[in-house]
Chain A
């Protein structure tokens, strides 16, 4: 049957257009992780360079009675350092007067998004350090708890100070999935105790924190790891001694109204920081299937 004529339909009336949903979906971008896994200091004053010092050590030797011992290599104390150079990251945006008058994107919202973008930039930098670590543990296929334990062993065997501090694992989603799956499928008595299941109880927090594997490490889930030979390059690190960084107190944001160049307001944010590998032996690269 055809349409009935002369019916008053929705299109006959004047309706509102462009109504907005009550909430907006957040941008599907990566979570900024890693800041809690490194030693942090403020920016230097009067220079943009700070040296993270590494103490040397001396070696004692046995000495028989009535024997002289001249200063030698065992007694020469040499310190070393790793240089961090503060550099600027920045985001500049422009917001038209039309958008400011009739739209719903405000200057403050733009500034907040700029801060989030810089957070992700720094997170990328921190997670990228994983690929630079020399000691590695390569999973045969997917990451297993044994691989993480071997990495922990390597850090302990390297005499890294403060072994009482829980190590931090920064892993991709696939590696975290495989660890959780292994625990669930394991069925070992230890893992029937709720206290041993911290990594299964939680979902990723804002900083990527998933939970602990008791006695081994805190697990953080991130993304954007570098790859080599078809493997993700992730890391297990000592949060005090492996990586270090210098950071500004907070991003600085400027607001500037423009006219002659076009009617808009410029929002410019910048931030100074640097991240360096302080002690290579205090971290292990964990390689597992991408």
Chain B
């Protein structure tokens, strides 16, 4: 991307996702626009840049519009490829504020009054819930580690202070 365009893009705020993402992914989300009126699931993908021989994180938008029975595809990307769901949107609901999307829900609701989009949403949320728990656990462990490191540092300083104190 040309410098000016890239600068302009990086100056934009990142699209806010439902779960927290790394700084690298935040940069990918700057200037990113969700699909208009189309149901989608946004993944944080794991990509290998062949010529630079490095792994990096980017975005993968799975368009599920009109097709709520995409659970197996979601499983494939999460379980087999290690992609992480960070957001989803425009899942049709009968009471959706956008009438075009609400109409799509009515098309899929059968005589049993079950909205198949709710099933897909629960499926997606389950993965995101697991992610959220993992993130919370990671955050707690990192905080514990930080506290221990600070304590260790303080103890080391105090021990050094004691040794070098000439009055003792």
Contacts and interface: CB of A to CB of B under 8 A. Distances in A.
13 contacts: A49-B72, A85-B72, A124-B63, A125-B63, A128-B61, A128-B63, A134-B46, A134-B48, A226-B60, A228-B60, A229-B28, A230-B30, A289-B2
B66 interface: yes
Given A83-B76, A230-B1, A277-B76, A131 B9 contact: no
B48 A135 contact: yes
A133 to B, nearest CB: 8
Interface residues of B, number: 36
Interface in B63-86: 63, 66-67, 69-70, 72-73, 76-77, 81, 83
Contact of B45 (A132, A137, A153): A132
Contacts of A276: 73, 76
Contacts of B31: 230
Contacts of A231: 1
Would you call the interface of chain A mostly helix, strand, loop, or mixed? strand
A137 B5 contact: no
B51 interface: yes
B152 interface: no
A150 B70 CA distance: 33
A226 B58 CA distance: 12
Nearest to A277: B76
B66 A228 contact: no
Given A128-B61, A128-B62, A230-B31, 10 more contacts: A49-B72, A83-B72, A83-B76, A125-B63, A131-B59, A132-B60, A150-B51, A153-B50, A228-B32, A289-B2
Interface of A: 49, 82-83, 85, 87, 89-90, 121, 124-125, 128, 131-132, 134-138, 141, 150-151, 153-154, 226-231, 233, 276-277, 280, 284-285, 289
Among all A-B residue pairs, the 9 with the closest Cβ atoms: A228-B59, A229-B28, A154-B50, A226-B61, A228-B58, A131-B60, A83-B72, A136-B47, A230-B9
- Choose among A85, A89, A138, A229 the residue with the greatest number of B CB atoms under 10 Å from its CB: A229
A85 B32 contact: no
A133 B69 CA distance: 21
The CB with the most chain A CB atoms within 10 A, among B27, B31, B49, is that of B49
Contacts of A230: 1, 5-6, 9, 30-31
B61 A289 contact: no
Contacts of B43: 132
Contact of B1 (A87, A135, A141, A150): A141
A135 B47 contact: yes
A73 B146 CA distance: 42
Given A121-B66, A228-B59, A289-B5, A134 B50 contact: no
A284 B50 CA distance: 9
A132 B77 CA distance: 8
Nearest to A86: B69
* Of listed A83, A138, A277, residue having the most chain B CB within 10 A: A138
Contacts of B48: 134-136
Contact of B61 (A131, A137, A150): A131
A202 B58 CA distance: 34
Contacts of B59: 131, 226-229
Given A89-B66, A134-B45, A229-B58, A151 B76 contact: no
A134 B2 CA distance: 25
Contacts of A124: 63
Interface in B82-96: 83
Interface in B7-66: 9, 27-28, 30-32, 43, 45-52, 58-63, 66
A284 to B, nearest CB: 7
